[in-house]
Chains A and B, each alone.
Chain A
Amino acid sequence: MNSIFSGTRLRDMIRSIRACKTAAEERGVVRKECADIRASINENDPHDRHRNLAKLMFIHMLGYPTHFGQMECLKLIASPGFPEKRIGYLGLMLLLDERQEVLMLVTNSLKQDLNHTNQYVVGLALCALGNICSAEMARDLAPEVERLIQFRDPNIRKKAALCSTRIVRKVPDLAENFVNAASSLLKEKHHGVLITGVQLCYELCTISEEALEYFRKKCTEGLIKTLRDITNSAYQPEYDVAGITDPFLHIRLLKLLRVLGHGDADASDLMTDILAQVATKTESNKNAGNAVLYECVETIMAIEDTSSLRVLAINILGRFLSNRDNNIRYVALNMLMKAIAFDDQAVQRHRVTILECVKDPDASIRKRALELVSLLVNENNVKQLTKELIDYLEISDEDFKEDLSAKICSIVEKFSPEKIWYIDQMLKVLSEAGKFVKDDVWHALIVVISNASELHGYTVRALYKAVLTYSEQETLVRVAIWCIGEYGDLLVNNVGMLGIEDPITVTESDAVDVVEDAITRHNSDMTTKAMALVALLKLSSRFPSISERIKDIIVKQKGSLLLEMQQRAIEFNSIVDRHKNIRSSLVERMPVLDEATFNVRRAGSLPASVSTMAKPSVSIPNGVAAAPLVDLLDLGSDDILAAPSSSGADFLQDLLGVDLGSSEVQSGATPGPKAGADLLMDILSIGTPSPSPAQNNTSSVDLLSTAGINNNPSTALDTLSSPAPPHIATTASAGGMFDLLDGLSPSPSKEATNGPAYPPIVAYESSTLKIEFTFSKPSGNLQETNVQATFINLSPNTFTDFIFQAAVPKFLQLHLDPASSNTLPASGNITQNLKVTNSQHGKKSLVMRMRIGYKVNGKDVLEEGQINNFPRGL
């Protein structure tokens, strides 16, 4: 191949690419050039390497892949001539980065070049190293670079300084090596070297405590002097920017002083003079001056307190805030956020200006101002501020509404002086920006509403009025239909009128209209529709006169295409039709939701299952350990918030009947619940349980989704009325459900013994098996009880692989000893000892669920029961 014709010149290639009219044309040209370059590379022709690489770099900048050129870079770097090296290093920096292994090959060349006689070559090497070296390369070449910091040529010194900066960033351990060299740089006169030296020291101080101490002791005064010199220096045209000599150096020095003064009173003392001087004497009509002032203010804020300086700083910020330049205002808002920590009063003085900034057309300023406002809120100004913010909410842009509404909600929640104000504000926010409001916010609102019993009437009426006007705000509709469902009777009967209200007449039909509208509207989502159905169920009990109409609406939903709606419609319909006797107790007014616990949960701190985890489950092959089955056993525990895996939001979702396939979220949400679910599986699976977590989750999901909402009595009946699939996990819970309900009518298999303390009881009896418990108390500890369980085989067959499992509620602890045997011969018995510790001894009596598994004639048999008849006082 002729090297004369082996390719276009760089200029010509660029021209021809620019001349292309379409992208396809350009691709064609590029492809051809790449092919030529590749051919040339294969020939290994050194003459064109230079040009080829330049072309490759241009092609790379256009966005095309150029990996085949990487080795060319290496070859060029290895060449002796300066121009080749230069383009080679340039290519290296452009086409490679520190994560590629090819880079390691360059280390040797770099080492040689760092020791080169030609200082320009040394400069090239330092430059490349400083821009893209990896940690290994840094380690290898650190000694060379350190040496170069003391080189005679200032250009090399400054490059070496910055290169060291990168080295210590990549390998912090090497910081100590550079401390001495760095401190010598601080005495330089050459601005370039000085600024890079300062930068290196700054880096060292942030990385290493010892370096910080060293610099603080030795160099603070020197630095202050340098800053003073530079501030007072005469006009230097070379470095002058808008009247300030080398503002960059000013800023770097201030930054380093900040680090040195932070946390150290002595160093801070030394600096106060110069800081005051810079703060007062710097011209602030140009950007350069403002930049220096800004850095100065940051430094004043960071070092130890001298109140006069701080006041000076905040005044400067106040001046910035009224500057017409947006940049300055932005920067001032930023700084004021930090200043609030020190001097709230001073910042409060500027509150009006800041509030104006919230309405600024620039999005960045708005955001900053909003954050600042939320920091400024306190009990005194909350009402005023909220009013302003809500007024602005009505006219703000869509994309800002989300932030704004979130902020308003958090302000209102934290500082609301009284409940009625809180509800009012939240209503306004929901009306304006409902679709931006997050779930936990409106959940919290509902908790507050339910707690404010004197305001129920007022709330439901206000919501009714609001939802008539703003029916497209989804969250508002949801809250409204929940309230109408709960407090519908208060609505139509105008109960609990407050003095400030105007009377309105709402008929039952009107109320149902609203709910029906929510269901039938096409843009309601599933949650809203589902909530509406539940509300209708409640209303059918509260408004018996229009029960027929409600029934019609429900029946219509039976044919809904959404499975959840269909299911609910069918179940609710059957309640309305056939279970009228329990309907009213089902949909009784909801108990007051416990605010305190809700808040704690919401902070994510304590899921109920933490107590589950407090006891490790002791898994013995024979007697499987018992751990509190929190959700299945709502046995006498007053804590209605017993859903184990819920975060606050999920629990509330359960209560609101909004549990739509989010049960995976429930069980997967925190490690606590997962482990809790593991324990559940331990109990309910026979044998050594070590299921995979994923499998665990899915089967526990079934468990929890049916069992987790057992606190809502209506859904308990759901599992009753709809045929439960024959699933071994749900059998347990369904069985539990049945037992819970059968508890309404006493079950024959349990005998209550009301005799003297600790008589033996028949814990369980079926046609094939009988279990007796005898009790004894170990000396001293009233809370502990030793139970001896005797299992009696009543059938003519032999039971093998006999396993007894038991579960107790949270306040009990259970320990099972191994049974006397696994095999229960016909009409024979085996015994097993249990130890129960009752932390609520005296207040609550023992209660236990048990499950027995065994094989008879090769078939697995499972028996379960609940033992309620423990003697009192155990």
Chain B
Amino acid sequence: MIRFILLQNRQGKTRLAKYYVPLEESEKHKVEYEVHRLVVNRDSKFTNFVEFRTHKVIYRRYAGLFFSLCVDITDNELAYLECIHLFVEILDHFFSNVCELDLVFNFHKVYLILDEFILAGELQETSKRAIIERMSELEKLQ
């Protein structure tokens, strides 16, 4: 199960934070800070998996953004790497060559995409096309 998803830039600013477990505000900030510290200093030759408290964080860097997923210890890390990649592809498709600014100014849309992709900490849909279609339907209702 995914416990939380974080998108952070290299300076540590959180561009997206979705928690599937309850945490206090102060705890959330602490977590974001710690994950960022863990992830930003790692050399690219190292594994994409880091132990974090009693769970693990699977992360990948795309341009200036770190995509981090915190999952249970027993989960399949390689699968979640694929999951991150699929998410990035969806964003890329939706925003047409996505960049960090797109995510900043359209954060509410990013959350909506995420909610179509992952629900309750589990994968909801694996087809990029299906998610994009759904998003366009939703956009029409706005």
Contact = CB atoms under 8 A, between A and B. Distances in A.
Contacts of A239: 126-127
A130 interface: yes
A82 B137 CA distance: 12
Given A82-B141, A120-B138, A162 B122 contact: yes
Contacts of A328: 78
B75 to A, nearest CB: 9
Interface of B: 14-17, 19-20, 22-23, 25, 29, 43, 45-51, 76-79, 81-83, 86, 104-105, 107-108, 111-112, 115, 119-130, 134, 137-138, 141-142
A94 interface: yes
18 contacts: A82-B141, A86-B138, A131-B20, A132-B22, A162-B124, A163-B120, A195-B125, A239-B127, A247-B79, A249-B126, A290-B78, A291-B76, A291-B79, A291-B82, A298-B76, A327-B77, A327-B78, A329-B47
B29 A365 contact: no
Contact of B47 (A166, A249, A362): A362
A63 B46 contact: no
A276 interface: no
Nearest to A127: B115
Given A57-B107, A238-B128, A130 B79 contact: no
Interface string A53-64: 010011001010
Interface string A735-749: 000000000000000
A35 B20 CA distance: 30
Contacts of A82: 141-142
Interface in A80-97: 82-83, 86-87, 90, 93-94, 97
Nearest to B48: A327
A90 B127 CA distance: 23
Contacts of B43: 361-362
Which among B25, B127, B128, B129 has the highest number of chain A CB atoms within 10 Å? B127
Contact of A199 (B17, B50, B123): B123
B45 to A, nearest CB: 7
Contacts of B77: 327, 330-331
Nearest to A252: B123
B108 A90 contact: yes
Nearest to B127: A238
Contacts of A98: 22
A191 interface: yes
Given A14-B105, A61-B16, A247-B82, 19 more contacts: A18-B104, A61-B17, A61-B107, A86-B138, A90-B108, A97-B22, A130-B120, A162-B120, A192-B125, A199-B122, A199-B123, A239-B126, A251-B79, A294-B79, A327-B81, A330-B77, A331-B77, A361-B43, A364-B50
Contacts of B134: 155
A654 interface: no
A288 B51 CA distance: 22
Interface in A351-389: 361-365
A340 to B, nearest CB: 17
A244 B51 CA distance: 29
A11 B104 CA distance: 10
B22 A99 contact: yes
Which among A18, A99, A155 has the highest number of chain B CB atoms within 10 Å? A155
A471 interface: no
A365 B120 contact: no
A131 B17 CA distance: 13
Contacts of B129: 238
Interface of A: 11, 14, 18, 54, 57-58, 61, 63, 65, 82-83, 86-87, 90, 93-94, 97-99, 120, 126-127, 130-132, 155, 158-159, 162-163, 165-166, 191-192, 195-196, 199, 238-239, 241, 246-249, 251-252, 255, 287-288, 290-291, 294-295, 298, 326-331, 361-365
B119 A130 contact: yes
A159 B131 CA distance: 13
A216 to B, nearest CB: 21
A298 B105 CA distance: 42
Nearest first, the 3 A-B pairs at minimum CB distance are A291-B78, A166-B120, A97-B22
B34 to A, nearest CB: 15
B108 A87 contact: yes
Given A251-B76, A327-B77, A58 B123 contact: no
Given A82-B141, A330-B49, A65 B25 contact: yes
A162 B125 contact: no
Contacts of A295: 76, 79
Given A199-B122, A362-B46, A131 B115 contact: yes
Contacts of A90: 108, 111-112
A155 B111 CA distance: 17
Contact of B111 (A94, A163, A247): A94
Given A131-B115, A162-B124, A291-B76, A61 B82 contact: no
A445 B54 CA distance: 32
A54 B108 contact: yes
A86 B47 CA distance: 38
B107 A58 contact: yes
Contacts of A364: 46-47, 49-51
Contacts of B120: 130-131, 162-163, 165-166
B123 A131 contact: no
Contacts of A97: 19, 22-23
Contacts of A86: 112, 138, 142
Nearest to A66: B25
Contacts of B14: 61, 63
A191 B86 CA distance: 15
A127 B82 CA distance: 23
Nearest to B23: A97
Nearest to A83: B142
Nearest to B122: A199
B55 to A, nearest CB: 14
A252 B126 CA distance: 12
B81 A287 contact: yes
Contacts of A331: 77-78
A79 to B, nearest CB: 14
A365 B120 CA distance: 31
B126 A192 contact: yes
Nearest to A133: B120
B105 A248 contact: no
A433 B79 CA distance: 39
Contacts of B16: 61
A165 B119 CA distance: 10
A93 B115 CA distance: 10
A203 to B, nearest CB: 9
